[in-house]
Amino acid sequence: MKIKPLKIDTNRESVVFIRKNSDFCRAIGSGILPKVELKVGDRSLYAILNTIEEDFLERDEIGLCTYTTKMLGLPAGSEVEVRYPEPVRSVELVRAKVRGEVLGAQDYRYIIRDIIENRYSKVELTAFVVGCSQGAMDRDEIAYLSEAMADLGENLEWGREMVVDKHCIGGVPGNRTTMLAVPIVAAYGLPIPKTSSRAITSPSGTADTMEVLASVDIGRSRMKEIVERENGCLAWGGAFALSPADDIIISVERPLNMDAPGQMIASILSKKKAAGSTHVLLDIPVGDTAKVRSYSKAISLRKLFEYVGGKMGLHVEVILTDGSQPIGRGIGPSLEARDVMSILANEPGAPEDLRKKGVDIAGRIIDFDPSVRGGRGRAIAEEILKSGRALDKMNRIISAQGPKTPTPPGALTKNAEAVKSGRVASIQNHLLAKCAKLAGAPQDQGAGVFCLKKVGDEVKQGEPLFRIHAEQNADLGFAWDYWQRHPEIMEIR
């Protein structure tokens, strides 16, 4: 059949469209719509079949959604063989997991390989996610899943004995410590090739914030050149096929609002292993409105990370940090970038909490170096920041990746004011993040929220608590209305 690309977004699911009166559809008959195999030479791609009765496709044409078009990489009019595929055998392993059975290393490799090859439908993927979430995975199973996800994808090699990295499990707005740690550690001399994600449910990911300053879609060869020259980079992980199954699994987890510990650990560590890291520092913020809400759960998670990391040949250290409120002042790409650069420039009034945490994390990473006496890493990180070497390194990384003219904070603003006098008793992280997203972040780089008060600060009635920034009047209205309906975002006592 002849390919016809269609501008239909199916959210990373391979979907094709064929006329119901085509020869292929008449041959397979009626019933449940099947998956099909698209074959070009030695390459195969599996997709969900949707039949149509409209005439925008000819009987010998197959319509491809944007994701399938990208995966095939063929121009319109190219011919592709369409087959009814054999059943996916690893789905039986998924059924076993749903029943609560323990799977082995080879079982997870079969499942992950079929996921990467797009043999699974969204229904089958959902069954796998739910099976791993509800049927408890033991720690060895988590290691098996992590190793399979790392091995069955692109792997980076650096030819260095030590390659460091860091990761935060998220849940705290404005926590942009990566953009401080990378230039400090790189200026010290340890290689830190950082690949980061864009926002999924937050107002900004590290890649979104870095993109205010520089290009983050830099590709593998350019990334290696930059790291060889500067010891570090801040790139978008989506530009690489590191643990490709992870992105597919996440596309199902997010709508279900599932973040099971086993799959979260596999997601993080598989990408670190595939990125060529040898030593990883993990940050688990703990707080009433963070992802992890109790220290007992955080300690349990730390043990799992360290065990699985050890099984994968990674040196993993986990720190538990305060996740009770936002870190820094800005929430949203441009506002966060401004915070980061003010700290690197040692400007008066730069957010001290973000500065301190960034230096703490950089110091812990420098402590990985066996030549550093125990605990000296933080003092080294502090000196690198104060001396201006970190700012110089960040500017060199920005220049190497491709500098951009930073987008200013959104010009449309409105202050959220205290309804009474007192002290800020608590800040609801998830509600404040939602307000920033409604203002337009991260799609609009200048949108977001700028915190004027933190927990413990005194406030007077009518005094601003935070400022909403937007680039569109409608978004400013949405964010303001959300604040009006949720005054508990900042509780005053």
The catalytic residue positions are 259
Phi-psi category of 440—alpha, beta or left, where left has phi over 0 and alpha has psi -120 to 50?
left
75/323 Cα distance (integer angstroms): 49
Task: Return the SS3 of 284.
Answer: strand
Angle at 323 between CA 320 and CA 329, to 5 degrees: 130
Inter-residue contact 193 to 219 (CB < 8 Å): no
**Residue among 463, 398, 477, 395 nearest 435 (CA):** 477
165/307 Cα distance (integer angstroms): 18
Task: Return the SS3 of 72.
Answer: helix
Half-sphere exposure of 57 (CA within 13 A, CB side): 25
Radius of gyration over alpha carbons of the chain, in Å?
A: 24
The pairing of beta strand 35-40 with beta strand 43-52: antiparallel
Torsion, Cα of 296, 301, 306, 312 (10° steps):
160
252/275 Cα distance (integer angstroms): 23
CA 348 to chain CA mean position, Å? 32
Angle at 134 between CA 133 and CA 135, to 5 degrees: 100
416/16 Cα distance (integer angstroms): 48
Q: Which long-range contacts (CB under 8 A, 24 or more apart) does 216-223 make?
A: 216/401, 218/401, 218/402, 220/154, 220/156, 223/193
If one counts every other C-beta atom within 10 angstroms of the C-beta of residue 78, the result is 13
